Chain A
Amino acid sequence: MPVPDRDQQEILAQLRRAGLSRRTLLRGAGMGGAAALLAACGVKGTGSGASSSSTGASSSSTGVSSSAAAPAGSSASGAATSGSSAGTSSSASASVPSVADRSDTDKTLNWSNWPEYIDVGENNASDHPTLDAFTKETGIKVTYTEDVNDNNQYFAKIQPQLSAGRPINADLFVVTDWMAGKLIQLGWVQPLDHALIPNLKNLQPALMDVPFDKGRKYSLTWQSGLTGIAQNPAALGGKKVESMDQLLTDSSLRGKVTLLTEMRDTVGLTLLDLGYNPEDFTDEQFTEAMAKLQAAVDAKQIRQFTGNDYAQGLVAGDIAACLAWTGDVVTLKADNPDLQYVLPEAGYTLWSDNLVVPILTPHKKNAETLINYYYQPAVAAQVAEAVNYITPVVGTKEVLAKQDPETAKNVLIFPDAATLSKAKGFMELDPDQEKRYNAAFAKLSGA
């Protein structure tokens, strides 16, 4: 069941946003507040649930429209020009019934995103200034839900509906590269109308031809980040962890190390440490990396595999060093300024989370309007300043250089060419590889 993990992270995220430090949060006095926040989560949950059912009802009342062929057809032609793996997907999406777009009359949008992945108001954590400005500008009311916590779990949540040809709650959601690629192949996301996204010209050129979506027919980057090694110097006793090898074998860290449940990050960094390329590796190399990780687990070096719930342990010092995502650590430094972040010399992974529009949504045009809005440098700057991840929008750095020079200078947020040269993605896996690698990786974490 995904519930606890998601709830847990949501609770932590809410508390963090509410300005409570995680350490005071559970010290008894915080319990009342925590319960209240939990109740708030519950209310929010029902709210989004209600809106989902209304979406469902309205789409069924519109019925399956005969204009279905239009988007599917355009996707086929798009795929033909790009000549990439998208070809298989367009055939799949053509078989799925589509619905008429009601964006012009129904100015609403349901957007599902990861926790703490957008700017928040100064006093009210559920208030998002950029979204408010968007609503003012376009009249589109956005229901913003932070219910994506893990690519696999979110997939498990939307898969039953989408595979049965029923619409999901969200009109727009954010998933990591490989999951976006998988959804494109399954034909569960719609091609984007670039004519409605003129600000696409601001996309970082390097992100235009990503392997899973050449020419960005189906997806656009929301934020990117690096995976490296975060550390708490107090818990390390003056030591510094410089490499993945040290993280996995230095016995003074025994039981104080966590790795990520995201297979591509943990295995990617291990492959790099062994001198292999995570963008192009063999089964043998994968097995070798797994053996190295297994040895660390057997030696009880590894405490846990985590999502971004390493935050609490790292700040408190239960975790001395861990694999972590850049933006998180920049944010966590506010709680504990001593935290350090190391990008291993052997290389590290670079990933992006991408905006995609699922099939069967009646609000595709609204979604495209929103994507276009967030591709303005001034808006992207507001988000970058808040989430501390790498923005895909060219010109953001220049905007921030005036408003917030400190953030503009941070190489974790605006990595220079030297930093990016050592960053690697992860090779695309076919379904068989995906299954085998996932099973092997799950066994590693004791399940």
Chain B
Amino acid sequence: MSVAAAGVGISSVERTGGPDGPVRGAGPDSAGPVGSRRLTPYFLLLPALLALVVFYVLPTLTLASTSLQTGDLQQGYSITWHWATYGDVLTQYWPQFLRSFAYAAAATLFALLIAYPLAYTIARRAGRWRNVLLALVVAPFFTSFLIRTLAWRQILADQGWVVSIMKSTGLMSVTDWLGLTSGRLLATPVAVVLGLTYNFLPFMTLPLYTSLEKIDPALLQASGDLYANAWQGFWRVTWPLSLPGVVGGTLLTFIPAAGDFVNQQFLGSVSETMTGNVIDSLALTQRDYPSAAAMSLVLMVAIVVLVTVYVRRSGTDELV
């Protein structure tokens, strides 16, 4: 109790004492009469706003208008406010939506379980190896992620060593019994989640590292002085202070993973297609652009809702 209070107390002190607070408060007051000063922030925002409009707002509007069109290639498409497309894609493809979110959630959880100890070690225990280890976390990006995903196809192959070890140790019969595998690893949900976890692991590790590295070791010493053991110190000091990293990392993992289709395509089978695969097929094979646009928008809205709820729940407003 006291430890937690100390932690929160100090962090709030830090916040008010931080550079942003006073400066932001003082800015408008002192520069009030000067018009150009007041506009400066908007000028500074201009490039970002332009980029946002050109690369986000306009495409989204195009997407929205496409989703309400009907027609075909020969006759052309026109907006007919055909809202039924949304109902159609939802009734037809809800399993793919559920699967996407389930796989993305699983991958996010596994990535967190792997990345937290990793980031903790790099931030707190690595000493002079810190930079080397950080470089190693980023190193996979030097190779195309397609190549890396294809590599898993070799590693998990039916005749590969991973499968033969799993079979000889009896692990495979356990996972088979659980319905996770079926005598093979490749072309199963396990392989897809593994691919997602692997590909997004650095996106989880780096935010975690940044927030863990910022934590003042003196806080942990203080918790020790207040009779917290190591576990209590972690749970009441380190974990709450690392929450911004956890939230950032989970968002950076979950959002792209939910829309991913490459891992499914390379590592999955026909039985576990995700939303991304459906959009790919609708847009490029079936050329049903309205349905593809509707799918994309539904996915976007669903992610926004999930993320909003999550951020509210985890109360990051206070922690960031």
Contacts and interface: CB of A to CB of B under 8 A. Distances in A.
Interface of A: 1-2, 4-5, 7-8, 11, 23, 26-27, 31, 34-35, 38, 152-153, 155-156, 159, 163, 186, 235, 255-256, 261, 297, 300, 302-305, 312, 316-318, 431, 435, 438-439, 442-447
A235 B158 CA distance: 10
Contact of A303 (B147, B270, B278, B283): B270
A153 B73 contact: no
Contact of B73 (A34, A186, A442, A444): A186
B187 interface: yes
A-B pairs, top 7 by smallest CB distance, nearest first, are: A446-B273, A447-B281, A26-B154, A26-B151, A447-B278, A152-B285, A156-B284
A323 to B, nearest CB: 14
B73 A4 contact: no
- With most chain A CB atoms within 10 A of its CB, the pick from B273, B280, B281 is B281
A304 B269 contact: yes
A11 B147 contact: yes
B181 to A, nearest CB: 10
- What is the interface of chain A mostly: helix, strand, loop, or mixed? helix
A163 B73 contact: yes
A31 B72 CA distance: 44
Contacts of B269: 255, 300, 302-304
Nearest to B280: A1
23 contacts: A2-B280, A5-B265, A7-B144, A11-B146, A11-B147, A11-B150, A31-B143, A35-B143, A152-B284, A152-B285, A156-B287, A302-B270, A304-B268, A318-B158, A444-B270, A445-B270, A445-B281, A446-B96, A446-B270, A446-B272, A446-B277, A447-B273, A447-B277
A207 to B, nearest CB: 27
Contacts of B150: 8, 11, 26
A35 B142 contact: yes
B187 A255 contact: yes
Nearest to B188: A255
A219 B288 CA distance: 27
B157 A318 contact: yes
Nearest to B92: A443
B31 to A, nearest CB: 47
B144 to A, nearest CB: 5
Nearest to B163: A318
Given A35-B142, A431-B74, A305 B157 contact: no
A93 B72 CA distance: 18
Interface string B119-150: 00000000000000000000000111011001
Nearest to A10: B146
Interface in B256-313: 261-262, 265-266, 268-273, 277-278, 280-288
A5 B159 CA distance: 24
Interface size class of B (residues with CB under 8 A): 35 or more
A436 B95 CA distance: 21
Nearest to B76: A163
B84 to A, nearest CB: 15
A261 B262 CA distance: 16
Nearest to A154: B284
A163 B289 CA distance: 15
B182 interface: yes
B117 interface: no
Contacts of A261: 285
A130 B280 CA distance: 37
Given A11-B146, A318-B158, A442 B272 contact: no
Given A2-B284, A156-B284, A304-B270, A316 B277 contact: no
Given A2-B280, A445-B270, 16 more contacts: A8-B146, A11-B150, A26-B154, A152-B285, A155-B287, A156-B283, A159-B287, A186-B73, A255-B187, A304-B269, A312-B153, A316-B159, A435-B286, A442-B281, A446-B273, A447-B273
Given A8-B150, A442-B286, A318 B262 contact: no
B186 interface: yes
Interface in B147-202: 147, 150-151, 153-154, 157-159, 182-184, 186-187
A430 B288 CA distance: 16
Contacts of A155: 287
A34 B72 contact: no
B234 to A, nearest CB: 36
Nearest to A24: B154
A303 B186 CA distance: 9
Nearest to A8: B146
A437 to B, nearest CB: 10
Nearest to B156: A318
A304 B159 CA distance: 18
A62 to B, nearest CB: 28
A384 B184 CA distance: 38
Contacts of B144: 7, 35, 38
Interface in B51-82: 72-74
B272 A27 contact: no
A139 B146 CA distance: 39
Contacts of A26: 147, 150-151, 153-154
Interface string B230-245: 0000000000000000
Contacts of A23: 154
A7 B150 CA distance: 11
A447 B72 contact: no
Contacts of A34: 143, 147
Contacts of B92: 443
Contacts of A8: 146, 150, 266
A417 to B, nearest CB: 36
A4 B282 contact: no
Given A4-B262, A8-B146, A26-B150, A318 B286 contact: no
Contacts of B268: 304
Contacts of A27: 154
Contact of A300 (B146, B151, B158, B182): B182
Given A7-B146, A38-B147, A159-B73, A439 B288 contact: yes
Contacts of B284: 1-2, 152-153, 156
A35 B273 CA distance: 28
Nearest to B144: A38
Contacts of A443: 92
